[in-house]
Amino acid sequence: MITDSQIEAWLREDLGHHDVTNDVPGETEGRLVAKEAGVVAGLDAATAVFAYLGCEIADAATDGTRIDEGETVLVVEGPAREVLRGERVAVNVTGHASGIATRTRAAVDAAREVDPDVAIAATRKTTPGLRGIEKRAVAAGGGDTHRLDLSHMVMIKDNHVAELGLEEAVSRLRERTSFATQIEVEVESPGDAERAAEAGADIVLLDNLAPKEVATGVDLVGDEALTEASGGITIADVPAYAETGVDVISMGSLTHSAPALDYSFRTG
Amino acid sequence: MITDSQIEAWLREDLGHHDVTNDVPGETEGRLVAKEAGVVAGLDAATAVFAYLGCEIADAATDGTRIDEGETVLVVEGPAREVLRGERVAVNVTGHASGIATRTRAAVDAAREVDPDVAIAATRKTTPGLRGIEKRAVAAGGGDTHRLDLSHMVMIKDNHVAELGLEEAVSRLRERTSFATQIEVEVESPGDAERAAEAGADIVLLDNLAPKEVATGVDLVGDEALTEASGGITIADVPAYAETGVDVISMGSLTHSAPALDYSFRTG
Amino acid sequence: MITDSQIEAWLREDLGHHDVTNDVPGETEGRLVAKEAGVVAGLDAATAVFAYLGCEIADAATDGTRIDEGETVLVVEGPAREVLRGERVAVNVTGHASGIATRTRAAVDAAREVDPDVAIAATRKTTPGLRGIEKRAVAAGGGDTHRLDLSHMVMIKDNHVAELGLEEAVSRLRERTSFATQIEVEVESPGDAERAAEAGADIVLLDNLAPKEVATGVDLVGDEALTEASGGITIADVPAYAETGVDVISMGSLTHSAPALDYSFRTG
Amino acid sequence: MITDSQIEAWLREDLGHHDVTNDVPGETEGRLVAKEAGVVAGLDAATAVFAYLGCEIADAATDGTRIDEGETVLVVEGPAREVLRGERVAVNVTGHASGIATRTRAAVDAAREVDPDVAIAATRKTTPGLRGIEKRAVAAGGGDTHRLDLSHMVMIKDNHVAELGLEEAVSRLRERTSFATQIEVEVESPGDAERAAEAGADIVLLDNLAPKEVATGVDLVGDEALTEASGGITIADVPAYAETGVDVISMGSLTHSAPALDYSFRTG
Amino acid sequence: MITDSQIEAWLREDLGHHDVTNDVPGETEGRLVAKEAGVVAGLDAATAVFAYLGCEIADAATDGTRIDEGETVLVVEGPAREVLRGERVAVNVTGHASGIATRTRAAVDAAREVDPDVAIAATRKTTPGLRGIEKRAVAAGGGDTHRLDLSHMVMIKDNHVAELGLEEAVSRLRERTSFATQIEVEVESPGDAERAAEAGADIVLLDNLAPKEVATGVDLVGDEALTEASGGITIADVPAYAETGVDVISMGSLTHSAPALDYSFRTG
Amino acid sequence: MITDSQIEAWLREDLGHHDVTNDVPGETEGRLVAKEAGVVAGLDAATAVFAYLGCEIADAATDGTRIDEGETVLVVEGPAREVLRGERVAVNVTGHASGIATRTRAAVDAAREVDPDVAIAATRKTTPGLRGIEKRAVAAGGGDTHRLDLSHMVMIKDNHVAELGLEEAVSRLRERTSFATQIEVEVESPGDAERAAEAGADIVLLDNLAPKEVATGVDLVGDEALTEASGGITIADVPAYAETGVDVISMGSLTHSAPALDYSFRTG
């Protein structure tokens, strides 16, 4: 959900106390146009910005659509002053989200060349304040949203294991966890992957391992648990990991390092 | 300023209603460590996150410092549960801001090889909700923050010119603008740059022009106004633009497309 | 997480613009004392209220503890004016949360007489604004928090089934759902429970069925999925449902109809 | 007043970052239907929830109406996705408020059998965040809202009396209190009730006294002040207290322990 | 109560995204010093501003104190950057509140020359966002805070009377009003004042009447109700109204037109 | 920008939890009428108040218009309950802003008798929470908004000069300041004014100097910088300062001490 208070904060930080530039009379139409090909996302946010300003959305593309350079993804109508005041914020949020969707799509396409099923997933490495928008942009690009917040899935890491041992850690956390919440265990060797699966993990995360080791881990885990690979994986690395048979490849860079997709906003 | 309500929104979106994973007893120390070289920024935000959670900052680097792989930039102490709950948000915001500072530094360094004075400036193409953090990250990287919001400086664009003519647009907006606020005029040819300067623009923005045209515009404007070049300029393009004698080179990519700087967070 | 803005709203609605009653000088100590036996919960919220007002927590019980009449669960010290201003809000939130924990405990105890494992779970029928506090109160009472929000687990209901058919609905939503998110299907007959499990549901919800039908459904589902019973189940009904072998018994009344646990606040 | 920021918080806590379940196309109609008889309240809040989501209210009952099982109290129309996203929050708030109105109505009816005038009043023992909604629900049930916040009326309690003496406490606080604000004095014996009235209290609160003692206190106070009885009074106790001639009977349980009224939400 | 979110809004609107001026190192002490004589108020707000910024209050005067030119009312210590950033906001809020207290004091002093008891009261004509601060400033100046908000007291005006008739309006609203809430009736003639009192008004407001008419109204009302005079009354008019025997003289100008008291802030 | 959360805070502080007075049925029209001549401002805020309450604006004057006693500046239509609930807040904010615009207009008119160009400017001495509204009210009165926030312009004061010396202070801050941001230097003698201009100040502020000294300073500065005079300047002082040739006369009293313009609100 895009909340009004978020929109308000975005507009407030861009407008300041006395915007003379855009204090113009009359009505206008604004069009958000892609300046390069990609996958569109973030239109719910752009729409909410203009709605907050009292403008009407005349037309809008659907998040997840592949677009070419020159395509219009949003048409808005309203008082020129309000349309112009929403412009920069709308372009910024759509460009940011579409950049994420576009990079996710590229990673998914790279995986599909090798494996029809492996999921390309985002992480919790999102930009503060934009968790929902970025996760939905990943979905728009064909990716998997993964853990939405800390309460969505339990993640057992080295600090838990160091304190309790792997099996005991899984057992203790299972006891405290709702049936509605899965438990993932992060491991750093194929052998620990097998132990984690046997201890009852729903998902085993093979962290910072080479594709060959991931493949070994996936074999050892078998059907006991889902498997996930992560740790600095780039789009170029995706095919090699996809070939391991792992269920999920997760990449922080989908959200924290995707360049914005370039849009222009045309009025009149 | 990083406000408590911003911190609250960042933590809320990452925690959810019942975080079982980090519900651990005891006190701990956490260290934010760079996994690659770069320029640090965003520590005011990371510090504010841990302060909101009732943790103590034991040590912190200064924004703008060049750091090497392996350097610690923040040490925090407090209840393990709170330190762990702040971890992801702190890493995300510092990585994001440091990525911007690092890219800005690279652009400034590229400019300095050619010209000791030309400013490398950010734009209003920032991530919604993070205007202040990103602008300060640009400053930390040695860049110029440029227009902070719409009320900071008036920008006369083609829609004003189309309606009123260039000279009349400058005259009308000067009348409505405080002495405290400068007026910049966006032009798309060297000749219009000269006209804008003569009409009284404080700054003339040469948009989407090749370095050669920018150089012509800069010569025509002379001392009548500051000059700025913008429009899809990459770091590779910076030296060519710097050689034109332009006063400011602005790049939206500093804020909207800088990859995050990689940090890890180590506890115990 | 209890946010400052929540605390602020609670205090603001209780104080008004000019509180003459509590405008008293000096320091005082306040003690939150149970007036009846039960299970304590909500102390994180009460603690946050006094912290917001600049008071110190001298002692606090642990959420989930069974307490007797007369037991002190929180001791706070600070300026008399602030302690008195926090009193009513602190009592209200602790009484509310402890009432939920106490009722949950009673339901869990009723279930334990019959079955050592069946989970007693809350629902999304919580008091607006208090989702997290109520879910954690359920956990404090030994219950299962169940679905924390709509994004935590997918729930396929009759409207999905009517439109797509049960199998297709499961298949479509599985495709759109992260590996991190489970899918539950709500059914109204034992036969549909079996179909849902075969279609790939992670959990099958047997809604508004008598214990006998639930037992049939549980048998038909077997190990294919977890099973949950719900629909107006009271504490008196719990043993009968627990005997069906169902994995989870969920009760909206745990959160929406538990009477407050009675506390008094004593100062000086 | 139901504020947008309250609605936003309620929806945010229930939706999370990526609600797949309700992401359905098309328009729908939703009807809020009572599953048991009672008194409706909270419809202003339910209406505000759907308005925030951009839905239209086609029909709505009036708060305070007695309804039977099966009656529709609200009809809403809009995009299916938005109607479904508002459903749970709307049911929760209406069920909560109607539960309070229904219990209040029962207490008022019990009093009316004995006395045509005695007021049944709520207290400040409300659920944090819902003061206004609960007080208005009490009014919808025929009850008296009593003190809305600490600034609404001055309450002199034992700590004031211990420090200053009863007469001096009344005198001091009268001096500091606006003419617009009444002063109530809490006493624990009939004799002190008389003293409080003579000292100038507008209202005398007979706290934790048996009906017989309340009757004595009411006689002693006479026309000098209004009288109120409180302290663990249940609906079964109401007639006995009503017979004492006291002006007001206040009950914290109206707001902190009323079970929710059961509603279902039907779409399509 | 001064809330953190209020402080945050005040600071945010004054700081902007990149304050270079006050980005200075080291610690400092700041003193808020009166530049003219008056009555101090608003120090709770100034204190809260510096507390939000992490500064310590070393000394503070008490609201309501008469101060001379040159007196220090607040001493704050902390990081120079934070002290300087709080300065302007602290001066603005203290100057505003002290201006109100000072003018109220002058009005009260004018009344006291004639009558020892008549109350000088503020109205709801306050500056949006500052209701509580302004009402408490009136109290600091010796004034009466009057109706704090619409829920504090019922006011029957000409629109109610036109619809229902005066007696019926009082009767209807009495029925719907809590015993905790008084009813005031606004009248425009002495005769209506008498009718209002007989109809059961707690307070009768004689609006826009000359002192002579007010005196007549006061006589007619006698002990049946309190009496209040209002309507463009200036400090020069106060003695004439005070002589009428009216209980309360209310003046909107206390809050909406009091000039600020002049303070300077000295550091180092 | 007037944000919804501001409107919400204004209405919340005025309504309280249970407003019985204005709980009236039906639709009505409300008219905001000037009770004295002046310059209207703040209508964007009044409009936003009624829009938040779901009312329609039927007609509205333009901020900056000179109005006579009896003129209607706003006509609003909607449910009587909502129109009445917005009334007080709308009158308060319009009266406050119009008071500022009216006083600014008077100061500008006083200046114009002597000099056709000198700017009459506001300062940062605004009422907390109302910076934008007050600055725009100054513009509506023909004044100059001056520095909108700390990030808008750098101000070098005595503490900078004491630490670094005037020339070094200007040089250091110029280095850290964006080309988009001007630098003003506050001086207390004509000689320092000249030094500041030579050091590169964009604007020189002659603080607390008599007109004669200001005139000397203006001459010494010449065309090197803009000049501003400030320090307790009243409207009566304006002509004398205007004659000095100074570019800007700034007056804190425009915003912190202007009496409200008197409006009434008529319904039905």
pLDDT band at D163 (very low <50, low <70, confident <90, very high): confident
Select from C83, C62, C64, C70 the least CA-distant residue to C33: C70
User: Residue D113 burial by CB count (10 A; 0-12/13-18/19+): exposed, middle or buried?
Assistant: exposed
**CA F133 – CA F140 distance, rounded (Å):** 10
CA end-to-end span of chain C, whole Å? Answer: 31
Q: What mean pLDDT is predicted for residues D246-268?
A: 97
Burial degree of F100 (CB within 10 A; 0-12, 13-18, 19+): buried
Between residues 2 and 61 of chain B, which touch chain D (CB distance below 8 Å)? 13, 16-17
Of all residues in chain D, the one with the smallest CA distance to B12 is D13
Enumerate the residues of chain E whose CB falls inside 8 A of the CB of residue B1.
11-12, 15, 85
| Chain A interface, best mutation among B44, B147, B150, by max A CB count within 10 A | B150
Q: What is the rounded average pLDDT for all residues in chain C?
A: 97
CB B107, CB B123: distance < 8 Å: no
| Contact across the interface for C95 and D256, Cβ inside 8 Å | yes
Question: D180 and E151 in contact by Cβ < 8 A?
Answer: no
Between chains, do B1 and E15 touch, taking CB under 8 Å as contact? yes
Q: Is the pLDDT of residue A254 over 90?
A: yes
Owner of token pair 């003129």: F71
Is the CB of A182 less than 8 angstroms away from the CB of C178? no
8 Å CB contact between E25 and E78: no
Mark yes or no for CB contact B131/E17 under 8 Å: yes
Cβ atoms A105, A39 nearer than 8 A? yes
Is residue D180 within 8 angstroms of chain C, CB to CB?
A: no
Among E148, E180, E247, select the one facing D182 at the smallest CB separation. E180
Task: Give the active site residues of E.
Answer: 88, 125, 157, 186, 207
Minimal Cα distance from D18: which residue of B? B13
| φ, ψ at A92 (rounded to 5°) | -60, -45
Q: Cβ of E135 and C8 within 8 Å?
A: no
Q: What is the DSSP letter of F144?
A: B
F212 flagged as catalytic: no
CB contact under 8 A, A14 and B256: no
State the smallest CA–CA distance between residue A133 and chain F in angstroms. 22
Please tell me which residue of chain B has the smallest CA distance to F183: B180
- Chain B hits for A23, CB-CB cut-off 8 Å, are 176
Mutation for testing the A interface, residue in D12, D15, D18, D49 having most A CBs under 10 Å:
D18
> How many angstroms away from the CA of B224 is the closest CA of chain E?
27
Distance CA A230, CA A238 (A): 10
β-pair type (A72-79, A56-60): antiparallel
Touching chains, D (3+ CB pairs < 8 A): A, B, C, E, F
Query: Nearest C-alpha of chain C: how many angstroms from F256?
Result: 23
pLDDT tens-digit map of C125-153? 999 999 999 999 999 999 999 999 999 99
Q: For E39-78, write each residue's pLDDT tens digit.
A: 999 999 999 999 999 999 999 999 999 999 999 999 999 9
User: Closest Cα of chain D to F1: distance in Å?
Assistant: 18
Chain F residues closer than 8 Å to D148 by CB: 16-18
From the CA of C21, how many Å to the nearest CA of chain D? Answer: 5
Nearest C-alpha of chain B: how many angstroms from F183?
A: 9
Chain C residues with CB under 8 Å of F9 CB are none
**Over the stretch C207-250, which tens digit does the pLDDT of each residue have?**
999 999 999 999 999 999 999 999 999 999 999 999 999 999 99
Question: Above pLDDT 90, what percent of chain B?
Answer: 97
pLDDT at D188 over 90: yes
E149 neighbors E132 (Cβ within 8 angstroms): no
Confidence band, pLDDT 50/70/90 cuts, at residue A50: very high
Q: How far is the C-alpha of B142 from the C-alpha of B145, rounded, in Å?
A: 9
- Left, alpha or beta for F113 (phi > 0: left; psi -120 to 50: alpha)? alpha
Give me the residues of chain F with pLDDT under 70, please: none
Q: Which residues in chain B are contacts of E12 at CB distance < 8 A?
A: 1, 3
Q: Interface pTM (ipTM) of the complex?
A: 0.97
Residues 6+ apart with CB under 8 A from F43: F60, F61, F62, F63, F73, F74, F94
CA angle F263, F267, F268 (to 5 degrees): 155
Q: B82, B115, B184, B186: which is the annotated catalytic residue?
A: B186
pLDDT for the residue B159: 85
According to the model, what pLDDT value does residue A268 have?
80
Q: Do F13 and C13 touch (CB under 8 A)?
A: no
Token pair recorded at residue E239 = 């003695």
- What is the predicted pLDDT for the residue at E163? 87
Which residue in chain F has the smallest CA separation from C18?
F13
**How many beta-carbon pairs below 8 A join chains A and D?**
30
Taking contacts as CB-CB distances below 8 angstroms, the residues of chain A near C178 are 119, 121, 144-146, 148
Residue E174's pLDDT band, with cuts at 50, 70 and 90, is very high
Query: Does C117 participate in catalysis according to the annotation?
Result: no
pLDDT single digits (tens) B164-186: 999 999 999 999 999 999 999 99
Cross-chain residue pair A135–D4, CB shorter than 8 Å: no
- Is 90 exceeded by the pLDDT of residue C268? no
| Average pLDDT for B194-205 | 98
> Over chain B, what is the mean pLDDT?
97
A202 is catalytic: no
Tokens for C96, please give them.
């509310």
**Confidence class of residue A90 from pLDDT cuts 50, 70 and 90?**
very high
Residue B222: pLDDT band by 50, 70, 90 thresholds? very high
Rounded Cα–Cα distance for residues C21 and D160 (Å): 9
pLDDT at E268 over 90: no
Mean pLDDT across B71-99: 98
State yes or no: is D113 an active-site residue.
no
